[in-house]
């Protein structure tokens, strides 16, 4: 299923008391839609989901759906290491009116491949919404095998994967052995063009918070066969993409948005703000 080419893994704006700032969230949503975002992933890792309560997540889903008002797809991050809790949150997200669900591989508990399969299958059974799997071994410490993804792709409402292993060989194999309408998205901004070149659909992006239009131009050039120009754009944007991960995500991208005049506040512990040196390096790359 194609949710669009560039989906933004949206940050969660906080006020000075570290509560969700809904006015800032409204402004951010409208800013992203106006600047190259074709879909929103709400309450993913970039949205600081581990620090959001269930109540906050549901409130955020409802609010985002209301503000977006059908302009682009809204995908709710409802995955965790707790299958029953993920089932409950998935049902609440569906009630909130979201367009899809993203389920991260269960972190910390390190389940087997069979455990992964049963986890995702069980959650898929409680919703009619399309589901995007999320493989990010760097954070979850488990890597979904190609065989597990292929098996899961046979479940009717599991329609997509955000693949953040960085392994193009694995991605090519997934694309090759899953149904034609099963989509694969890069979980890494810097691999957007390589993933498109092997048949991927697009990217779930952090950098699109600040260079969404530029990334759209890069993809457009690639799609129309202007490969040299797309490659040039890729090389030009890469330092910005890298700078946004110079400290644990989403601290740099929140700082970048604040610098660019799109206020989103700070981060919740255990994340900490950028130090002066990091902030200065980010300003230099962003030229602000």
Q: State pLDDT tens for residues 126-150.
A: 999 999 999 999 999 999 999 999 9
Q: In angstroms, rounded to a whole number, what is the distance separating the alpha carbons of residues 208 and 166?
A: 18
Q: In angstroms, rounded to a whole number, what is the distance separating the alpha carbons of residues 262 and 28?
A: 7
Q: pLDDT-derived band of residue 164, with 50, 70 and 90 as boundaries?
A: very high
Distance of CA 80 to the CA centre of its chain: 15
Please report, for the chain, the start and end positions of each structural domain, with discontinuous segments joined by +.
6-224
Tell me if the pTM is above 0.85: yes
Q: Are 104 and 79 in contact (CB under 8 A)?
A: yes
Q: pLDDT-derived band of residue 288, with 50, 70 and 90 as boundaries?
A: confident
Q: In angstroms, rounded to a whole number, what is the distance separating the alpha carbons of residues 160 and 203?
A: 12
List residues with catalytic annotation: 134, 162
Kind and range of the H or E run holding 185: strand 183-186
pLDDT at 161: 98
Q: pLDDT-derived band of residue 189, with 50, 70 and 90 as boundaries?
A: very high
Q: Residue 11 CB: number of other CB atoms within 10 A?
A: 27
The share of the chain scoring above pLDDT 90, in percent, equals 99
Q: Residue 202 CB: number of other CB atoms within 10 A?
A: 22
Q: In angstroms, rounded to a whole number, what is the distance separating the alpha carbons of residues 199 and 183?
A: 9
Q: Which residues of 80-103 are buried (b: 16+ CB within 10 A; e: fewer)?
A: bbebeebbebbebbbebebbbbbb
Rg (CA), the chain: 18
**If you average pLDDT over residues 247-274, what whole number do you get?**
98
Beta-bridge mates of residue 203: 6, 186
CATH class of the 6-224 domain in this structure: alpha beta
Q: pLDDT-derived band of residue 170, with 50, 70 and 90 as boundaries?
A: very high
Handedness of CA 36, 28, 88, 84 (dihedral sign): positive
Structure tokens at 32: 């992203």
């Amino acid at each position: 299923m194609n949710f669009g080419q560039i989906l933004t893994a949206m940050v969660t704006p906080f006020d000075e008391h570290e509560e969700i700032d809904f006015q800032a969230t409204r402004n951010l949503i409208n800013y992203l839609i106006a600047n190259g975002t074709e879909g929103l992933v709400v309450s993913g890792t970039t949205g600081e989901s581990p620090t959001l309560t269930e109540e906050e997540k549901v409130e955020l889903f409802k609010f985002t759906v209301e503000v977006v008002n059908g302009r682009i797809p809204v995908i709710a991050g409802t995955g965790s290491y707790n299958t029953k809790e993920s089932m409950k949150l998935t049902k609440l997200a569906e009630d909130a009116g979201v367009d899809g669900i993203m389920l991260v591989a269960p972190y910390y508990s390190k389940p087997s491949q069979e455990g992964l399969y049963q986890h995702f299958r069980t959650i898929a059974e409680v919703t009619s919404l399309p589901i995007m799997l999320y493989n990010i071994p760097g954070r979850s410490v488990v890597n979904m095998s190609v065989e597990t993804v292929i098996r899961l792709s046979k479940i009717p409402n599991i329609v997509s994967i955000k693949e953040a292993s960085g392994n193009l060989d694995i991605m090519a194999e997934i694309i090759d052995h899953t149904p034609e309408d099963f989509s694969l998205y890069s979980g890494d901004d810097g691999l957007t063009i390589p993933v498109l070149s092997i048949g991927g659909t697009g990217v779930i992006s952090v950098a699109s918070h600040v260079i969404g239009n530029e990334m759209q131009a890069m993809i457009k050039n690639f799609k129309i066969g202007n490969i040299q120009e797309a490659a040039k754009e890729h090389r030009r944007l890469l330092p910005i993409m890298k700078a946004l991960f110079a400290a644990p995500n989403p601290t740099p991208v929140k700082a970048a948005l604040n610098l660019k005049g799109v206020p989103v506040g700070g981060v919740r512990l255990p994340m900490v703000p950028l130090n002066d040196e990091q902030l200065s390096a980010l300003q230099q790359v962003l030229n602000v």
